[in-house]
Amino acid sequence: MEQRLTVVTLGVADLERSARFYEQALGWKRSAQSQDGVVFFSLGGWVLSLFGRDDLAADAGVSVEGSGFSGIALAHNVRSQGEVDAVLAQAAQHGGRLVKAGEKASWGGYSGYFADPDGHLFEVAHNPFWPLDERGQVELG
Amino acid sequence: MEQRLTVVTLGVADLERSARFYEQALGWKRSAQSQDGVVFFSLGGWVLSLFGRDDLAADAGVSVEGSGFSGIALAHNVRSQGEVDAVLAQAAQHGGRLVKAGEKASWGGYSGYFADPDGHLFEVAHNPFWPLDERGQVELG
């Protein structure tokens, strides 16, 4: 199995509400390959997908029952501390929820968290030890 | 907010058990930047991170309580139907759980699901409409 992933799918209660959150709060643009019932955001070689939570459980053949902490967080790294605060504020202003305001982290960076309209956790972080290239990507050794 | 993500973090109960699963079942190589308490896998511009489930909840400042369907699935796309079956079998042989055997999908491809040792859902899919480039990446319009 090659060391890569292709899609992260977030199950959502209201597809249009979530798609608008990613467009308006985050400023992302949905892919023209989005279809009825599924919205794709191209992330530079891989894809974030929004899909009905019930549909996702049904596709995997598992019970849709579940609550509380998902055990997963997505992170968006930025180039400065101020940018962390700006992204968190922007998410909170457009339908996200501020979970943790930006603060200095024990690992030497600065980070905070917001939740999307379904509660999916996003960390926004500045990590001075992981420089971002011009595409915003990070290549670890 | 640029249209990209940097890290997907999976909260796990036993870090070494999970790291071995990703190394042995999936054949991935952990990054030399992994540290005590956190394991990184470089995915070509972004990172899959394994971190204690309790630690992840604490870092976000949320309750660690949660159970059942997480509402999230990660997908690894491959180049043929046979490769879907091979990856699912390999994951199941090394501590993963087969959640759904490979089968033809309504969208025209072929896919199945496995769960990692903590139950995190992975779809393995062949999607003939999303050709993978030489790095295994997909660029949507």
Instruction: Check B48 against A7: CB less than 8 A apart.
Output: no
Provide the pLDDT for residue A34.
97
What is the C-alpha to C-alpha distance for residues A36 and A58, in angstroms, rounded to an integer? 17
Nearest to A3 among B41, B53, B61 (CB): B41
d(CA A121, CA A70): 9
A7 φ/ψ angles, rounded to the nearest 5 degrees:
-145, 140
pLDDT of A42-78, one tens digit each? 999 999 999 999 999 999 999 999 999 999 999 999 9
Tens-place pLDDT, residues B39-86: 999 999 999 999 999 999 999 999 999 999 999 999 999 999 999 999
Confidence class for position B1, pLDDT limits 50, 70, 90: confident
Task: Render B24-55 in DSSP notation, one character per residue.
Answer: IIS-----TT-BTTEEEEE-SSSEEEEEEHHH
What was the pLDDT predicted at B141? Answer: 79
CATH 1.10.1060.10 correct for B1-62: no
Residue showing tokens 């199945």: B112
- The CATH number assigned to the domain with range B72-141 reads 3.10.180.10
Q: Which residues of A touch B139 (CB under 8 A)?
A: 42, 44-45
Identical topology for domains B1-62 and B72-141: yes
Summarised one tens digit per residue, pLDDT across range B3-31 is 999 999 999 999 999 999 999 999 999 99
Judging contacts by C-beta atoms under 8 Å, the chain B residues touching residue A63 are 68-69
Is the pLDDT at B94 greater than 90? The verdict is yes
Mean pLDDT of chain B: 96
- What lies within 8 Å, CB to CB, of A37 at 6+ separation is A15, A51, A52, A55
Which residues of chain B have a CB within 8 Å of the CB of A67?
66-68
Q: Model-level pTM?
A: 0.97
Residue ranges covered by each domain of chain B? 1-62, 72-141
Q: Do B113 and A60 touch (CB under 8 A)?
A: yes
Residue B110 has pLDDT above 90, yes or no: yes
**Percent of chain B with pLDDT strictly greater than 70:** 100
Block mean pLDDT (10 aa), chain A, length 141: 96 98 95 96 97 98 97 98 97 96 96 98 97 94 79
Predicted pLDDT of residue A1: 86
